[in-house]
Amino acid sequence: MGVRHSKAAPQEVESALARHLRGESDNRAVNGANEDSISAADRQYINDIKRDFNETPDVFVLNNMLMGIMFFENYAQQREDLKRDLLKKSGKYVIPDVILEKVGQNVIYRPHHGPQKDSSVPLAARRVFALSDEVRVVGSMEEVEEDDDRTVVRIEESQKKGYVRLRSINTNQRPDAEGQSPIPQLSQQESISRSSEESSDTNYYKELQDLKTPKPIEILRGLEKRDRLLDTCLSYRKVKKISWDADDTLGEDIQENDLYQIVAYVNTKGFKKRYKNDVFMNEVAADLDFGRVGNVNVTNEKIFCTVEESSRTVPYEIMPCIKANWPVEQTLKFIMKGKRTAEPRKRYVFPTNKMIDDIQSMECVLLPKGHLKKKGDKKDFDIEWELCFPQAQRYLETFMSHAQIKCMLVLLTLHKMYVEPKTTFLGLQTDHIRNFMLWECESNYADWPEHRLGTKLLQLIRNLNDHLSKARPKISDFFVNDKNTLGDVSIPKIRKAQEAFDEILQSPLMHLMRALRSLRYASGRTFFQPFKFKELHRILTGSALAATNAQMVNPRRLRGPEPESNYFEQFKDGKKRQAIFKQRQEEERKKAEKKINDERRGSVDSIDLNWDFGKTLDIYKRRLILMFFIETFLEIAEKCLPVSSKTATFYIKQAFYLTRILKDESPSFAQDVLKYLGDIEELQGRLGEMETNRKLANGTLTNVKFIEEVRKTNGKTEFEKKKAPRKSVMFVEDHRE
């Protein structure tokens, strides 16, 4: 790293270190060296970290490894920038994944092995909700303008939670003319029939697979953009007349028209076909300034394509949809969260009353997904529209803390590495993980410690697995509580995701290391230094003494050259020479064969997922692990100095905590301890200078040092107490009620 530290004579170093270890200090000693100068909170952190290191070293490494992985240069500032347009009304498109888009500028996913090892992609496809301007959704009491050229619809509740029907109110009723197919009656309740005509589980999953499997797009030529939907986008149903009363017509000749009326509903199939054509694709590509578009495929409700952007391929999910006002009836439980009484011990609430009020002013979108029933009549499948809340989701994600976002990104990385290859588009999706994370943030907004994210992440995986392992897997929609987001997902595919997470929990460190190693920093020198996974893996799995002496000269080289006669003795016999030559030829052949086989199977990963960490570590390996993370944190802190004093302070403190633990390991590590204390002191001084300059520039100069200074009174060392109270660095957002 670039931190400088002065050299000192061995006697001076040992003398200063001896004073430091006795709890004394001098002008050269690092601030805070004395035990009394460390706050109770910092001392508790050190004890917690030391306990993890002693009792669960694998969790200790996992916690520190996650601290060393960076997704943002300055998350707090970037998040504030994103909040400015949160309440802005949507235009033609809603692009909700703004945080993931920021991450994609810094980090890309490119595995080291396997068929995708040469492709760089973001952690998740970029979602685009394309809003139709051919349909207008009005409220139940809202009047319709006669000169409105668009198709005007009203929302009707569906029996399926999270779904609605769109009833056209300015479309001419279809005449029941001769030769036309009969109009079916609208289903008013879920079928409970158990007849032989019901779909079996096998047929149901086959239908699901067919709906969700991407297929090449069928371009419809010659379609022009219109002000309203075509008649092919409408389906007709017979609906009972609400005003009909049997008593009023007693004894009269009752006709079917007296009981039913024919109404038009917007058909999801016709709507999707209308948009999956060259007009739509050309319009989207032009509006969003796409470069070269390729690999266009479609599923039931999405259009998948790839776009070349800045020499990389970005996958897109484009979803044609219709915007509507916030559906109060469907989201009543979510809205009522704002009326809850804050728990006495719960200082942090998510979402807050203000957040819920803001969200209600936003729009939702209606996806032409259709609801496929597992059993019963499926005739109304094509008139069911799914409620989706991309703007609200974007809003809430910008209020998630850095630790929460980081956990979500790591979960998405695990999903991409271990789940997606087994389930593709048919199982657990990134949308499910986003929804799951909102529930986890609500359950306890404050319990996300930056320095123990590994422990928190393992708990998240267990919680997610609990949802997946149920007989009927369920993750409730965060906004429509009675809706199960896994309700239309194949259970066999969910079981594959469950198995993958089970394997991760069996050996979390190696699974996390292999997955996170596939994250590459895309910003070059402007971002942080890549995490040294190879070096950490060598320290963990190799011999401690060998790793300690890795930089030393090979002892064999110190022996000097062997006499020349020894070489000639080896080759005096021609047969022996020939045997050696053949042996070398065979070795070369085997090497070449092994290389070809490795390439065929996508090469062999050096990280063994079944490697056992063990419960104890020898003192040399403990030293190497501590030194590795101390140097990693000091490098990150130095990079953060110009952009975020809060983040720099956090990593300086983490390096200081580990240095204190290294000091307690053995007196023989004194040289290392003093070196790192000097580095920490210099970084702290530079941080103070930069913060002072910022305060001077803003006209708000305050004391910025977080460690007390040393002074001598009557020959004794004392610590000046600063006016500003000591605070441990915690990235927790204050959403108090």
Say whether the peptide bond before residue 725 is cis (omega within 30 degrees of 0). no
Cα-based distances in Å from 336 to 77, 341, 358: 32, 11, 14
Q: What is the pLDDT of residue 295?
A: 76
- Tell me what percent of the residues of the chain surpass a pLDDT of 90: 35
pLDDT on residue 698 = 65
Residue 230 and residue 274 in contact, taking contact as beta carbons nearer than 8 Å: yes
* Amino acid 606: pLDDT: 75
Please give the average per-residue pLDDT across 228-240, as a whole number. 76
pLDDT of 523 reads 67
pLDDT score at 731: 38
So what's the pLDDT on residue 309? 79
pLDDT for the residue numbered 676 = 94
State the pLDDT at residue 558.
Answer: 32
What average pLDDT does range 248-255 have in this prediction?
59
Span 236-249, average pLDDT = 66
Residue 343 has pLDDT above 70, yes or no: no
Residue 501 has pLDDT above 90, yes or no: yes
- The Cα 216–Cα 106 span in angstroms is 32
Write the CB contacts of 301 (distance below 8 Å, at least 6 apart in sequence).
268, 272, 319, 367, 368, 369, 370, 386
User: Are 121 and 315 within 8 A, CB to CB?
Assistant: yes
What pLDDT score does 186 carry?
Answer: 59
Percentage of the chain lying above the pLDDT 70 cut: 66
628 or 289, greater pLDDT: 628
pLDDT at position 20 over 70: no
pLDDT in tens, 685-726: 998 888 777 777 666 544 434 343 434 444 443 434 343 343
Q: Residues 267, 269, 273, CA angle at the centre, nearest 5°?
A: 120
When mean pLDDT is compared across 120-134, 163-177, 217-231, 264-278, the lowest value belongs to 217-231
Mean pLDDT in residue range 613-632: 89
Among the listed ranges 411-420, 636-645, 727-736, which one has the minimum average pLDDT value? 727-736
* pLDDT (0 to 100) of residue 712: 44
Say what the pLDDT of residue 9 is. 42
- pLDDT at residue 121, rounded to an integer: 87
What's the CA gap between 173 and 276, in Å, rounded?
27
Which pLDDT score is estimated for 205?
Answer: 63
Q: Cα–Cα–Cα angle for 484, 488, 493, nearest 5°?
A: 110
Choose from 267-276, 515-524, 669-678 the range with maximum mean pLDDT: 669-678
Is the model's pLDDT at 663 over the cut of 90?
yes
SS (H, E, C) 393-436: HHHHHCCCCHHHHHHHHHHHHHHHHHHHHHHCCCCCCHHHHHHH
DSSP character at residue 572: S
Q: Please state the rounded mean pLDDT for residues 65-81.
A: 88
Confidence band for 310, pLDDT divided at 50, 70 and 90: confident
Q: In this structure, what are the phi and psi dihedrals at residue 118, rounded to the nearest 5 degrees?
A: -100, 5
Model confidence band, residue 578 (pLDDT cutoffs 50, 70, 90): low
Which range is least confidently modeled, 12-26, 33-47, 398-412? 12-26
Cα 476 from Cα 14, distance rounded (Å): 61
pLDDT band at residue 556 under the 50/70/90 scheme: very low
Q: What is the pLDDT of residues 385-438, one digit of tens each?
A: 999 999 999 999 999 999 999 999 999 999 999 999 988 878 899 999 999 999
Quickly count: other Cβ atoms within 10 Å of residue 26's Cβ. 13
Report the 10 Å Cβ neighbour count for 198.
15
- Amino acid in position 409: L
**In terms of Cα–Cα distance, which of 267, 273, 269, 318 is closest to 127?**
318
Neighbours of 724 (CB within 10 A): 11
- The mean per-residue pLDDT over the stretch 303-330 comes to 87
The larger pLDDT score, comparing residue 290 to residue 524, is at: 290
What is residue 199's predicted lDDT score, i.e. its pLDDT? 45
Average pLDDT over the chain reads 76
Looking at the predicted structure, is the pLDDT value of residue 475 above 90?
yes
Is 62 exposed, middle or buried, given 0-12, 13-18 or 19+ CB atoms closer than 10 A? buried
Query: Region 546-575: what's the mean pLDDT?
Result: 44
Residue 720 has what pLDDT? 40
Does pTM top 0.85 for this prediction? no
**What digits encode the pLDDT tens for the residues 134-190?**
888 988 777 777 667 788 889 988 888 899 999 988 766 555 544 445 566 555 544
